[in-house]
Structure 1
Amino acid sequence: MNTLLSIEIRNAVLLKMAELLKRDREALIEINKTDLEAYKGDDISMFDRLKVNDAKVDEMIKSVTHLASQEDPVGIERFSFKHENGMQIYNKTASFGTVMIIYESRPDVTVEAAGIAFKSGNKILLKGGKESLHSNLKIVALWHEALQTYGAATSWVEYLQFNRTETQAFLEKPTQKVDLIVPRGGERLIAFVKKHATCPVIISGRGNNFVYVHKEADLDVALNVIVNGKTAKISACNAVDKVLIDANLPDKDKFIETLIAKLKEFNVEILGDAKTSKFEEIKAFDSEDIWYEEFLDYKIVIGEIASNEDTIAKINKYSGGHSSSIITKNDTEAELFMANVDTAAVYHNASTRFTDGGQLGLGGELAISTDKLHQRGPIGLQHLVTNKWYVHGNGQIR
């Protein structure tokens, strides 16, 4: 176990990393081209996540700089109690120890996840996908340079260049102590980690997010939220896949026609239920199982629903537990929806695309958890800690 570094050193390493990313910006973008050229798959969302350009490097720099400006999440007093026998008792936040993250295709995670883990006093084991290997190794080399600048061990950030068999073996019998594993990727990756891991796992789950257009919706807001949620970034877990439209919405058909036209501008494939598939541009789906699917593609399902209560039940049955939004001018209906929908983030008149550590004020995230223990939604700096009891006495016995 690495000895906790002072907050001054942790912050200095983060700021050095920002400097090095600026210095090697062009080199990193160039190395990333090797990964992009080697990628032979046809998954457009994977390609989008894999690409490093100027905007992505800017985000990486912003992420570590912001982390350096945040309060130390370790050693924060959460509770104190003076025992009747004179003992002074405190409960304080403490690092987990070693965190492993398994992720696909996103070199920016190699910056953001390592930064959050390091700032919160954790050693991080990075297991990236083979498709982003060259980009990831370059970023890890920069982490090591930043750590060495301040005399810190390079083992704080370790890259595991494992294939699937080696990863499985490590999960089942780790060659070093691992306190927490976060798989960040598709459902197959998550199932694989859950099956083989021998230590606690936080699931960074699927999206499959819903927008409900209530009968008292502002229709312009509804159009903007749906189109933004579906088309702004199809590779994001906070993208929209399902739209439920209140059967009693005034001018419902006209609204659906306008929505179809807006989605068609982005070549979105639109599927629908028995009610909505009467529209020429909406194709009837084959199976109700489609309500469970996360698309990560220019594809959406539009259905009709009888009420807010029915919507809540449908979302709770089919969604990935990530994000859901109600569009309505009726605050009471919004409160009912937000209190009863079982997703990590609930929205009223806003896009699900905001479920993101940076957008929710955390400055970035390790992952977005759809678990309820120990953190739900974006896992930020202040969530990558556990706690510890400090008891000070002078010989008390029980």
Structure 2
Amino acid sequence: MNTLLSIETRNAVLLEMAKLLEAERKHIIAINKGDLEAYNGDDISMYDRLKVDDAKVDEMIKSVTHLASQEDPVGVERFSFKHENGMQVYNKTASFGTVLIIYESRPDVTVEAAGIAFKSGNKILLKGGKESLNSNLKIVELWHKALEMHGASTEWVAYLQFNRTETQAFLEKPTQRVDLIVPRGGERLIEFVKEHATCPVIISGRGNNFVYVEKDADLDIALEVILNAKTTKISACNALDKVLIDSNLDNKEAFIATLISKLKTFNVEVFGDEVVSKNHSVNAIESDDIWYKEFLDYKIVIGEIASTQEAIAMINKYSGGHSSSIITKNDNEAKTFMENVDTAAVYHNVSTRFTDGGQLGLGGELAISTDKLHQRGPIGLQHLVTNKWYVHGNGQIR
């Protein structure tokens, strides 16, 4: 086990990484261009996540710089107690030890996830997808350079160049100690990790996010929110897939017609439930199974619902437990919705696209957990720790 590095060293390595990313910017983008050209899949969201341009490099630099400015998440006192026998008891945060991250196609995760794990005192094992191999190896090379420049072992950041069979074998019987696994990617990846892992796994589940337009909604806000949540980044897990519209909404038909025509200007394919498809000549859904589906594509389903209670029941049945939003001017309806919808993030008159560690004030995220243990929603720096009891005395026995 690597001895915990001082917070000064951890921060210095992060700031060094920011400098190296800037210095090697053109080189990283050129190497990534090779990965993009070699990618022969037809998954547009995968291609989008694989691509590194100047804006992505800017984000990587911002991520490590921000991490360096944050408080040390290790050794934070969470509880203290003075025993009647004079013992002093503390509970403090402690790093997990070794964290394995398995992810697809996103070279920026090689910066952000490694940065979060490293800042919180963990050794990090990175297992990226084959489609981004060269980009990832270049970034790991920069991590090693940054570590060496500050007298730290390169073992803090390791890249596992495994194929699927080797990954499965490692999950089932790790050749080194692993304390936590975080899979970050599509449902197939997450199922694969859950099936084979022998140590704790934090599940970052599917999106399939809902917006409910309640009968007292501000229709301009509803349009803005739906268009933003659906079209700004279709590859994001916080993107929108389903819209439920209160059947008692004023000017409902005109609103739905406007919404459909605006979605079509963004080339979004619109599906409707029985009522919406009949009234607005859009594709009717073939079966209720579509309500479970996360699209990660230019597709959306619009349906009508009779009340807030029914919207809550529908979301709790079909959503991925990620994000949901209510559009309404009625604060009581919003309160009922937000307290009873079982998703990691609930919104009132806001786009679901804000479920993100950076946007919610965490400065970045390792993944977005749809689990309830030990952290739900974006996993930031302060969540990548466990805890430990420190007890001081002078000979107390029980």
TM-score range for the pair, normalised by the shorter chain length = over 0.9
Instruction: Report the alpha carbon displacement of residue 213 of structure 1 after superposing the two structures with TM.
Output: 0.2
Corresponding residue SS for 1:361: coil
Q: Is the 8 A contact 1:260 1:281 kept in 2?
A: no
After the TM superposition, which of the residue ranges 133-142 and 273-282 deviates more from structure 2? 273-282
Pairing 1:1-398 to 2, within 5 Å after superposition: 1-398=1-398
One-letter amino acid of the counterpart of residue 374, structure 2: H
One-letter amino acid of the counterpart of residue 55, structure 1: A
Instruction: Report the alpha carbon displacement of residue 279 of structure 1 after superposing the two structures with TM.
Output: 3.8
Unpaired stretches in structure 2, ≥5 consecutive residues: none
One-letter amino acid of the counterpart of residue 20, structure 2: L
Structure 1 CA distance, aligned partners of 2:375 and 2:314?
Answer: 24
Structure 2 CA distance, aligned partners of 1:279 and 1:126?
Answer: 50
Q: Is the 8 A contact 2:22 2:61 kept in 1?
A: yes
After the TM superposition, which of the residue ranges 225-234 and 273-282 deviates more from structure 2? 273-282
Unpaired stretches in structure 1, ≥5 consecutive residues: none
Structure 1 CA distance, aligned partners of 2:243 and 2:81?
Answer: 50
One-letter amino acid of the counterpart of residue 110, structure 2: T
Structure 2 CA distance, aligned partners of 1:145 and 1:45?
Answer: 32
Structure 1 CA distance, aligned partners of 2:105 and 2:225?
Answer: 27
Corresponding residue SS for 1:57: helix
Instruction: Report the alpha carbon displacement of residue 278 of structure 1 after superposing the two structures with TM.
Output: 1.5
Instruction: Report the alpha carbon displacement of residue 81 of structure 1 after superposing the two structures with TM.
Output: 0.4
Instruction: Report the alpha carbon displacement of residue 96 of structure 1 after superposing the two structures with TM.
Output: 0.3
Q: Is the 8 A contact 2:67 2:115 kept in 1?
A: yes
**Identity over aligned residues, as a percent?**
83
Corresponding residue SS for 2:329: coil
RMSD: 0.5
Corresponding residue SS for 2:192: helix
One-letter amino acid of the counterpart of residue 10, structure 2: R
Deviations 1:183-231 (A, max 9, x none): 1011110110000000000001110000000000000000000000000
One-letter amino acid of the counterpart of residue 167, structure 2: T
Instruction: Report the alpha carbon displacement of residue 280 of structure 1 after superposing the two structures with TM.
Output: 4.3
Structure 2 CA distance, aligned partners of 1:17 and 1:311?
Answer: 46
Structure 1 CA distance, aligned partners of 2:66 and 2:273?
Answer: 45
One-letter amino acid of the counterpart of residue 350, structure 1: V
Corresponding residue SS for 2:178: coil
One-letter amino acid of the counterpart of residue 156, structure 1: W
Instruction: Report the alpha carbon displacement of residue 126 of structure 1 after superposing the two structures with TM.
Output: 0.3
Deviations 1:66-111 (A, max 9, x none): 0000000000000000000000000000000000000000000000
Deviations 1:22-78 (A, max 9, x none): 000000000000100000000000000000000000000000000000000000000
Structure 1 CA distance, aligned partners of 2:157 and 2:205?
Answer: 24
One-letter amino acid of the counterpart of residue 328, structure 1: T
Q: Is the 8 A contact 2:344 2:376 kept in 1?
A: yes
Structure 1 CA distance, aligned partners of 2:396 and 2:62?
Answer: 50
Corresponding residue SS for 2:5: coil
Q: Is the 8 A contact 1:270 1:281 kept in 2?
A: no
TM-score under structure 2 length normalisation: 1.00
Q: 4+ residue runs of structure 1 moved beyond 3 angstroms?
A: none
After the TM superposition, which of the residue ranges 274-283 and 370-379 deviates more from structure 2? 274-283
Q: Is the 8 A contact 1:268 1:300 kept in 2?
A: yes
Corresponding residue SS for 2:301: strand
Deviations 1:312-369 (A, max 9, x none): 0000000000000000000000000000000000000000000000000000000000
Q: Is the 8 A contact 2:257 2:280 kept in 1?
A: no
Structure 1 CA distance, aligned partners of 2:138 and 2:326?
Answer: 43
One-letter amino acid of the counterpart of residue 237, structure 2: C
Structure 2 CA distance, aligned partners of 1:96 and 1:280?
Answer: 54
Q: Is the 8 A contact 1:358 1:364 kept in 2?
A: yes
TM-score under structure 1 length normalisation: 1.00
Q: Is the 8 A contact 1:77 1:90 kept in 2?
A: yes
Structure 2 CA distance, aligned partners of 1:182 and 1:85?
Answer: 42
Q: Is the 8 A contact 1:234 1:296 kept in 2?
A: yes
Corresponding residue SS for 2:274: coil
Instruction: Report the alpha carbon displacement of residue 281 of structure 1 after superposing the two structures with TM.
Output: 4.3
One-letter amino acid of the counterpart of residue 214, structure 2: H
Structure 2 CA distance, aligned partners of 1:282 and 1:349?
Answer: 26
Corresponding residue SS for 1:275: helix
Q: Is the 8 A contact 2:273 2:284 kept in 1?
A: yes
